[in-house]
């Protein structure tokens, strides 16, 4: 097998790879698709196959992979495992980011049970139930003493504002926000609006009816 199949063509590291915002949004879809192929013992793919699986065009796939600095081999395509590893590097999920969850008991149970952290290379270090001020103090001390990269925020009501005030004074790199307010911080934030997603689905159903 040609070991160059699906590898980044640039001699530089992944920091040199520049992708658009729309391409960045597609990275998780690439990872899920490629992971599915690997789980089904499929180790070779093509832009045509990926296009069908991802509901994109083959030219879009080739354009994305070219922008990622990844090349295939004419007549062969892409080595799935190598391509998967390359995109993991670009997505920055092979750096073993550390994370903690601060939230309600129900949200902690739901989120910590999901395999998303392991699959994305994020080490879930601890969880804190936001049920008292002492829990917030424990959360703050833990983050300060353990170099935590990501806070998964799933709090409600007054605890959200208190938690945000604490996070602003921590050396946190990013927040995955499931709380009841939209966050706008000086660090990367991904706001997840579960209620809005359900509302959007209901709206589409009403439109069809």
Q: 138 and 159 in contact (C-beta within 8 Å)?
A: no
Q: Is residue 204 part of a domain?
A: no
User: Please, which pLDDT band fits residue 199 given cuts at 50, 70 and 90?
Assistant: confident
Span 152-175, average pLDDT: 94
What digits encode the pLDDT tens for the residues 68-91?
A: 888 777 778 899 988 888 888 877
Do residues 59 and 133 share a domain?
Answer: no
In terms of domains, do 141 and 56 share one? no
Residue 95: per-residue pLDDT = 58
Question: Of all residues in the chain, what percent carry a pLDDT higher than 90?
Answer: 47
What HEC string does the chain produce? CCCCCCCECCCCCHHHCCCCHHHHHHHHHHHHHHHHHHHCCCCEECHHHHHHHHCCCHHHHHHHHHHCCECCECCCEEEHHHHHHHHHHHHCCCCCEEEEEEECHHHHHHHHHCCHHHHCCEEEEEEEECCCHHHHHHHHHHHHHHCCCEEEEECCCHHHHHHHHHHCCCCCCEEEECCCCCCCCCCCEEECCHHHHHHHHHHHHHHHC
Distance (Å, whole) CA 92 – CA 120:
9
Q: What pLDDT was estimated at residue 93?
A: 64
Sign of the dihedral defined by the CA atoms of residues 23, 27, 29, 33, in that order: positive
**What is the overall mean pLDDT for the chain?**
85
What pLDDT was estimated at residue 3?
37
What is the per-residue pLDDT for 13? 40
The angle, 0 to 180 degrees and rounded to 10, between the axes of the packed helices 21-39 and 80-91 is 140
When divided into structural domains, the chain yields a total of 2
pLDDT at 152 over 90: yes
Say yes or no: 66 and 112 in one domain.
Answer: no
Q: What is the mean pLDDT of residues 29-50?
A: 90
Picking from 59, 76, 91, the residue at the C-terminal end of a domain is: 91
Q: Find the distance separating the first CA and the last CA of the chain, reported in whole Å.
A: 53
145 shares a domain with 67: no
Q: Which token pair is 123?
A: 């080490």
Output the pLDDT for position 19. 67
**Whether pLDDT at 206 is above 60:** yes
Which positions ≥6 away from 18 have C-beta within 8 Å?
67
Q: Specify whether 47 is located in the same domain as 103.
A: no
- pLDDT, position 75: 74
* Same domain, residue pair 52 and 131: no
Q: Looking at the structure, do residues 183 and 165 belong to the same domain, yes or no?
A: yes
- Confidence check: pLDDT of 100 > 70: yes
pTM for this predicted structure: 0.61
Domain that holds residue 86: 14-91
Is the pLDDT at 117 greater than 90? The verdict is no
122, 80: one domain: no
């Amino acid at each position: 097998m040609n070991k160059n199949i699906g590898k980044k063509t640039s001699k530089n590291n992944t920091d040199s790879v520049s992708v658009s915002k729309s391409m960045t949004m597609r990275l998780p879809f690439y990872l899920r698709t490629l992971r599915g192929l690997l789980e089904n013992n499929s180790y070779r793919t093509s832009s045509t196959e990926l296009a069908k699986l991802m509901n994109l065009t083959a030219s879009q796939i080739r354009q994305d992979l070219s922008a990622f600095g990844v090349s295939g081999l004419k007549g062969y395509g892409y080595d799935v495992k190598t391509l998967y590893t390359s995109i993991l590097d670009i997505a920055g999920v092979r750096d073993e980011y550390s994370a903690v969850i601060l939230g309600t008991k129900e949200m902690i149970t739901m989120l910590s049970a999901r395999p998303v952290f392991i699959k994305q290379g994020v080490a879930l270090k601890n969880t804190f139930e936001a049920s008292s001020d002492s829990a917030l103090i424990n959360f703050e001390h833990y983050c300060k003493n353990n170099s935590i990269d990501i806070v998964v925020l799933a709090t409600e009501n007054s605890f959200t504002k208190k938690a945000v005030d604490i996070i602003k004074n921590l050396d946190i790199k990013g927040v995955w926000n499931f709380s009841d307010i939209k966050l706008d911080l000086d660090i990367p934030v991904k706001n997840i609006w579960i209620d809005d997603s359900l509302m959007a689905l209901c709206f589409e159903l009403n439109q069809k009816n």
